[in-house]
């Protein structure tokens, strides 16, 4: 199988590297410099909890340089989804399927429509990884990857990819309820990510603070109302407990939204909390806590993007200020 990974940051590089170990499997990473040039020169180095590895695999800046593939794995941020998908359209037109490993809601439908295809698969992951320096990825957390598709014709490929990822050591399972999987992961992100981003705290630090745990509960409960209105079947019976349990279990993690602010980058708040708010308005559901954290994160995001700066300790909100802003 020929696999092209588009958006080869930390997570894309991680999956691509280990899949390249499979017999009769070729992996090409598509990303940006200086990461790509470092891989071309010295290979992709992976360290952290998965051990020390160096992978010799192809890397390039443009998907247009590749003429054919069996699978495109897209691991970009949600706001880059359509641009990245369009860059690989010629591969899909020539028969490739596309697997989205992302946060957020609604990207499968966008890609299916934009590329005029139903060969779209979706995955969520609880793997943690950081691109520490160009050509080097540090694995920071091992967690479940779930793969599925809204289109029944892809079920055979879903099972094939599940077995391939298991073979190289990932904890993976297939799902016939990928919408429920995506929403369950989104509820966790709705609760943990904005709170961590606004306070500058790790997941464990957020969990250990009683007031912040209360904020997580509020945010998750608001999102659950939307899920019920949509008629989506979650993969947990107690989403609040699940979100809090995730925060506790991933205590050392710095969530991706906080990582983005620290790097002066755009966050994925629009595809997470923003999408919950958008859907809530359609169904007449009130989401005051979600709207408050959304506004605060967007304000910080705009500041850093406009000024070209990164988040500092001076910019984070004190816990009592954050709680007051959301609960008053």
- The tokens describing 187, both together, are 């509820």
Report d(CA 105, CA 280) in Å as an integer: 14
Close Cβ partners of 323 (under 8 Å, ≥ 6 residues apart): 211, 212, 214, 215
Report d(CA 148, CA 231) in Å as an integer: 19
**Residue that has been written with the tokens 């107690």 in this structure:** 238
Selected catalytic residue, list 89, 185, 265, 303: 185
Contacts 24+ apart (CB under 8 A), 232-240: 232/179, 232/180, 232/183, 233/177, 233/180, 234/180, 234/183, 234/184, 234/187, 235/175, 235/177, 235/180, 235/181, 235/184, 236/184, 239/184, 239/187, 240/216
45 is catalytic: no
Do 271 and 104 touch, CB atoms closer than 8 A?
Answer: yes
Report d(CA 190, CA 279) in Å as an integer: 14
- The tokens describing 215, both together, are 């904020």
Report d(CA 241, CA 237) in Å as an integer: 9
C-alpha distances out from residue 128 to 11, 131, 141, Å: 8, 11, 4
Report d(CA 288, CA 46) in Å as an integer: 42
Active site amino acids: 185
């Amino acid at each position: 199988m020929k696999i092209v990974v588009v958006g080869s940051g930390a997570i894309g590089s991680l999956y691509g590297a280990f899949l390249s170990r499979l017999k009769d499997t070729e992996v090409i990473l598509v990303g940006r410099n200086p990461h790509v040039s470092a891989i071309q020169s010295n290979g992709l180095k992976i360290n952290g909890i998965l051990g020390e590895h160096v992978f010799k695999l192809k890397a390039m800046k443009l998907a247009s340089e590749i003429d054919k593939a069996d699978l495109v794995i897209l691991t970009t941020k949600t706001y880059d989804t359509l641009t990245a998908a369009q860059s690989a359209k010629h591969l899909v037109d020539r028969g490739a399927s596309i697997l989205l490993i992302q946060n957020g809601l609604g990207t499968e439908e966008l890609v299916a429509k934009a590329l005029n295809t139903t060969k779209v698969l979706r995955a969520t992951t609880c793997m943690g990884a950081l691109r520490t320096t160009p050509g080097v990825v540090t694995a920071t957390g091992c967690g479940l990857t779930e793969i599925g598709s809204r289109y029944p014709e892809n079920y055979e490929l879903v099972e094939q990819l599940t077995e391939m990822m298991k073979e190289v050591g990932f904890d993976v399972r297939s799902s016939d309820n990928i919408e429920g999987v995506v929403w369950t992961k989104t509820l966790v992100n709705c609760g943990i990510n904005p709170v961590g981003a606004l306070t500058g705290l790790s997941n464990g630090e957020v969990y250990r603070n009683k007031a912040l745990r209360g904020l997580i509960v509020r945010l998750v409960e608001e999102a659950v109302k939307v899920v019920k209105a949509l008629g989506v079947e979650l993969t947990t019976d107690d989403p609040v407990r699940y979100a809090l349990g995730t925060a506790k279990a991933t205590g050392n993690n710095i969530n991706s939204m906080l990582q983005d602010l620290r790097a002066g980058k755009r966050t994925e708040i629009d595809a997470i909390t923003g999408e919950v708010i958008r859907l809530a308005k359609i169904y007449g559901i009130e989401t005051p806590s979600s709207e408050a954290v959304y506004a605060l994160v967007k304000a910080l995001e705009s500041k850093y993007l406009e000024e070209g700066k990164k988040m500092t300790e001076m910019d984070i909100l004190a816990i009592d200020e954050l709680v007051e802003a959301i609960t008053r």
